[in-house]
Amino acid sequence: MLSSARDKRSMLYILSLLLDVFALILGYLCAIELRDTQWLSAGGHSIIYIALPIFVMFEIAREAQDAETLQNRVLGTQRALGALGATAIVIIGLGFLFKADDISRLGLAVTFGAGACFIILGKFLLEWIVKVTLGKAVVATILLLDGLSAKPEGSAIVVDVEALGIWPDLDQPDMIDALSRLISPFDRVIIASRFEHRPEWSTFLKGHDVGGEILLDRDLLHGAVALGRYDHRDTIVLSRGPLNLMNRVQKRLLDLTAATAALVLLSPVLLAVAVMIKIDTPGPIFFRQWRVGQGNRQFRIFKFRSMRQDRSDEDGTTSTGRDDNRITRFGRLIRRTSIDELPQLLNVLRGEMSMVGPRPHALGSTAGDELFWHASRQYWLRHALKPGITGLAQIRGFRGTTERVEDLDLRVRCDLEYLSNWSLWSDIMIMLKTARVVIHKNAY
């Protein structure tokens, strides 16, 4: 039930945009009842075909579809009308620029005036649909009790994690995974925690992909990004999620486009590699291993099998060496050329990975003699975005065995830099630069 809350809201975002677009179209249809279509055309093209993409662009830019506008009809109406007004100004400006004197001023006035009326009516309809679909809980909230009492507000879900015996013990990935799965369907996570657990909760929330807050009963902030209110008390906001809705949509569209194109173009190579693996040594074509993914939730990664089946290391406790005798003859070739990573395109299509992001590590990975999360407490923060097939650390040459703690620190630093400065353009540039590090001295 809860896992569908975000999906329902995403559908409502789409419905909201479609209602606004439909309102503008209805305004245009009203105009052509008063003026022939030739008076509402420029250069042989109807103004509605010019206005619609501009209107959608302004709607996205003004964030006319988000949780706030679903909760507040007035705010949603203001943003949509603002986008419509900006569209009207652009259309009028284009008319003057290209001297389109044959466009009817009355037709334009009716198009955008009637469109505004239909937008207002559409927001009343949307408000009713939101209430029927989500009730009062537009933003799904979960309150986790870890030794501190608090009363839930509204329709918040309450889970006593102390009674369940779980808390974000950073030395236990399975517990981190369980908590991450518990909170992943929600938008807002409120932690009512005993004082001594708050540093761990702080680290846990900062590495997650939802908004997280800790209830205050002492004046300590743990690196908060803002202050909030819950149960008549202050909270410290520790995370808001690294990307807003439109950024997530852009990144996902890039992933789907790039992964699909790569699978189609590389299908002969993938087939040939699969055949060679079967010929080379007995065993499955793919090697699957548990890795740490977005929000510190674990998932199974796909790779072409490059090791002998009886010597595979599913936990990743033994780092691969330069002359590792577990690697097959053909496996050494595909590891050297990074071809063994190509099946991760399937993880991208499944939504478990992205084309670009922090590389996912096995649970048993070590830096020197220490597990990754022992070697660096910031390690958990790098999972606020989906893991990637490639990333900033990879194009800077930080690949291969982490023989020293410093090797891990360099990678984590790159990953946190990527999270802080994400843009669609940076993803595209990282993918392009990956081509020059596909074959690398540390790829073995």
Instruction: Name the residue ranges covered by the structural domains of the chain.
Output: 2-134, 141-240, 245-437
Token match 């990333």: residue?
391
The pLDDT value given to residue 203: 85
| Residue 420, CA distances (Å) to 207, 380, 409 in order | 12, 15, 16
Judge whether residue 1 has pLDDT over 50: no
Report the SS3 class of residue 363. coil
The pLDDT value given to residue 2: 46
The pLDDT value given to residue 124: 94
The pLDDT value given to residue 356: 94
Judge whether residue 444 has pLDDT over 70: no
Contacts of 192 (CB under 8 A, 6+ apart): 143, 144, 145, 146, 147, 148, 149, 150, 215
Question: Tokens at residue 270, please?
Answer: 């993938």
Question: Tokens at residue 361, please?
Answer: 């590590």
Question: Tokens at residue 216, please?
Answer: 């205050």
Spatial contact of 344 and 434, defined as CB atoms under 8 Å apart: no
Q: Let me know the angle formed at the C-alpha of 130 by 129 and 136, rounded to the nearest 5 degrees.
A: 135
Judge whether residue 216 has pLDDT over 90: no
> Cα separation of 284 and 307, whole Å?
11
Contacts of 302 (CB under 8 A, 6+ apart): 286, 287, 288, 343, 344, 346, 347
What CA dihedral angle connects 149, 204, 424 and 255, to 10 degrees? -100
> Cα separation of 414 and 393, whole Å?
5
> Cα separation of 328 and 334, whole Å?
10
Report the SS3 class of residue 310. helix
Percent of the chain with pLDDT over 90: 24
143-157, 218-232, 253-267, 348-362: least confident range: 218-232
Per-residue pLDDT tens over the stretch 124-177: 999 999 888 877 677 788 899 998 888 888 778 899 999 998 888 888 888 888
Judge whether residue 121 has pLDDT over 90: yes
Judge whether residue 14 has pLDDT over 80: yes
Spatial contact of 139 and 240, defined as CB atoms under 8 Å apart: no
Pick the residue with more confidence: 44 or 231?
Answer: 231
The pLDDT value given to residue 167: 86
> Cα separation of 336 and 331, whole Å?
8
Beta bridge partners of 214: 191, 236
Judge whether residue 3 has pLDDT over 50: no
Cα distance from N-terminal residue to C-terminal residue, the chain: 45
Judge whether residue 319 has pLDDT over 70: no
Say what the pTM is: 0.63
As a whole number, the mean pLDDT across the chain is 82
Burial class (CB in 10 A: 0-12, 13-18, 19+), 23: buried
Per-residue pLDDT tens over the stretch 355-404: 999 999 888 888 877 888 777 777 887 888 899 999 998 888 887 777 78
34-48, 215-229, 307-321: least confident range: 215-229
